[in-house]
Amino acid sequence: MSLPDHYNDFISKNPSGTIFQAGVFAEFQRTIPYRGEAFELLSSECGPRTCGPHRGVATGGVRAKGEPAAEGELGSEGLQGSASCLAIVMKLPYGLCWLWVPYGPLGGYNEALFSQLEAVVREKRAIFTRIEPPASWSPADAAALEGRFSLAPASHRLTAGESLILDLTLSEAALLEQMKPKGRYNIRLAQRKGVTVKRYTSVDQLAPGEFEAFYQVLQQTGSRDGFGIHPASYYEQLLKNLGPSSNAALYLAYDEAGTVIAGIITTYFGSTATYYYGASSPAHRPLMAPYLLQWEAILDAKNRGFHSYDFLGIAPPNSPDHPWAGITDFKKKFGGTEIHYPEAVELVHRPLLYKLYRLKNRLRP
């Protein structure tokens, strides 16, 4: 097993492992111009041979991905992960950056792992590192982190702080039963109205103009619900990187005339399918296409052997005025269990530049 395979094997077997810490997600992030680099860090327990942390395909030090191991460094034999971290470079002007760790690290606080992270910080001239911990991150992990770094509360987070998880080990009948009645009704309504759903793993599988139609609906959704969206190339690249390995799919809903009226992108890793992005046409709202889209994606994930369906983001409890209140009401119609993630923190590496960065963002219109 190669070292990258060891990293992915550790992520996939960790109960808190998600697509956001996976090697395929790192490869996708490397294609985004305003990011471009991502580092897979793995701290290893001792096996039959000498052990140490590895980055990319390297061990025992910080080297570029693909560089051959030096004599005496750990090969693939006996490597057992104990903690891991995917750190994504977020570019800033003047050759600076900050590092984003989405839903990581895995395996709790680990001295060797954070030593490797510090090496990346020095190499990439990072101002700070934002840690958006997984649900398994404990108060003891947080205390250990505070004992080693200068911390600040995160100004915001890119991943959701709360989510909704659906148990796909339930039978189809049980999944329907635990839904709210309005959710079941809207699925049947969409079917009666002639809405159909198709699944794609590549933009090349789409008919001419269909991806553009999906992106137009996505723009309408962003404008309606008040959230920003990426350029169209971002979603194309996501499917290009993750689709061939069956780590992502695009579902499109059509009306009886064959018009694209809604769509979602789902990702897959380990035992979890994740509802990543969604869009629906306000002009076709009476057809209730989003309900049938979700239901088809849920059944597909269940039939493919996934154990959980992650709705990814909901509003915090008792927050009726939250921007996500409407989408939260929609997601909760499918049932599931609410998950709260620990607060995100920022490890401050360059205090003066960090203060200037925060000030600039507060003054931004």
Give Cα separations from 183 to 45, 180, 332, 354, 356 (angstroms): 47, 5, 9, 46, 47
Please give the average pLDDT of every successive group of 10 residues along the chain, which has 365 residues: 74 90 94 90 54 36 35 38 91 95 96 95 97 96 95 93 97 96 97 97 94 95 84 94 94 97 96 95 95 98 97 91 90 96 97 94 65
Domain ranges of the chain: 3-159+342-363, 162-340
DSSP-assigned letters across all residues of 285-316:
GGG-HHHHHHHHHHHHHHHTT--EEE----PP
User: Which superfamily is assigned to 3-159+342-363 in CATH?
Assistant: Gcn5-related N-acetyltransferase (GNAT) (3.40.630.30)
- Cα–Cα distance for residue pair 86/104, rounded to 1 Å: 7
pTM: 0.87
DSSP label at 15? T
Residue 80: per-residue pLDDT: 53
Question: pLDDT value at position 74?
Answer: 36
The two domains 3-159+342-363 and 162-340 share their CATH topology (first three levels equal) = yes
pLDDT for residue 305: 96
Instruction: Tell me 60's DSSP state.
Output: S
What is the three-class DSSP state of 17? coil
Give residue 261's pLDDT.
97
- Residue 357 C-alpha from the chain's centroid: 25
Instruction: Classify strands 126-132 and 308-310 as parallel, antiparallel or unpaired.
Output: unpaired
Looking at residue 218, its pLDDT comes to 95
Query: What is the pLDDT, as a whole number, of residue 5?
Result: 78
How many angstroms separate the CA atoms of 220 and 281, rounded? 7
Taking Cα atoms as reference points, which of 254, 253, 255, 251 lies closest to residue 265? 251
Centre a 10 Å sphere on the Cβ of residue 78 and count the other Cβ atoms it contains. Answer: 14
Domain at 162-340: CATH code: 3.40.630.30
Nearby residues of 248 by Cβ (< 8 Å), 6 or more positions away: 201, 238, 239, 241, 242, 265, 266, 267, 268, 276
The three-class DSSP label of residue 360 is helix
